[in-house]
Amino acid sequence: MGLEEKLPSGVLLTTVEGLAGYMRKAAFWPATFGLACCAIEMMTSGGPKYDLGRFGMEVFRASPRQADLMIVAGRVSQKMAPVLRQIYDQMAEPKWVLAMGVCASSGGMFNNYAIVQGVDHVVPVDMYLPGCPPRPEMLIDAILKLHDQVQHGKLGAHRQKQILELEEQGLIATPTSLMKGLMRGE
C-alpha cells in the first residue's frame, strides 16, 4: 500500500525541479546562428512541412537576449569564434547549445587553420547532430532529445556546476588536428 493509493484521485506528486523541467522543455526560443549549408536545413525545419511550432519553437530570435537555445548550423571560422562566444554570453540563463552538422561538431572536411575543429572549443555543447547537412527530421529529433535532457536536468547551483565542468572539459580538449589514430597519420 503506497502513498499513491491513499491520496484522492487527481492529486499529482512531483518535485519542483521536475515541474520546472517540464515547463522549460516546451519553451525553447532558438537564436539564429546559421553559418553555412546546414542553415538551409534549419530554416526548412521551421517551415510549414516540418513545423517546429508544434514544439513551441515557431519563432527564431534575432536577439540573443531573447533566446535560450543556440543552434550552431555550419562551420565556424576562427574569425567567427569570438562572435559566437559573445552571442552565447549574451543569452539568458538557462541556455543550451546544439551543434548542427559535422562541421559544427568536429570541423568536418575542413581540416585547416581557418576552421574551428568543433564548436565545443568555443562554447559548451549540449547536443551534437551529425550529418552533412542533417535533414530537418534529424534536427527535430535532436531537439526532442534535448527536450528530454532539459526536463530531467539540474536547476540552480547544480546546473551552474554542471556547465562549468562541461566548459572546462571543452577548453582542455585536444584539438582534432593533434589527435593520433585512424586516418590521422600516426
List residues forming the annotated binding site for [4Fe-4S] cluster: 37-38, 103, 132
Instruction: DSSP letter for 135, please.
Output: P
Amino acid identity of residue 40, one-letter, is I
User: Do residues 126 and 163 make contact, with C-beta atoms less than 8 angstroms apart?
Assistant: no
| Binding region | 37-38, 103, 132
- Quick check: bond before 94 cis, omega within 30? yes
User: Do residues 177 and 111 make contact, with C-beta atoms less than 8 angstroms apart?
Assistant: yes
Strands of the 127-129 sheet, one edge to the other = 30-31, 69-73, 96-100, 127-129
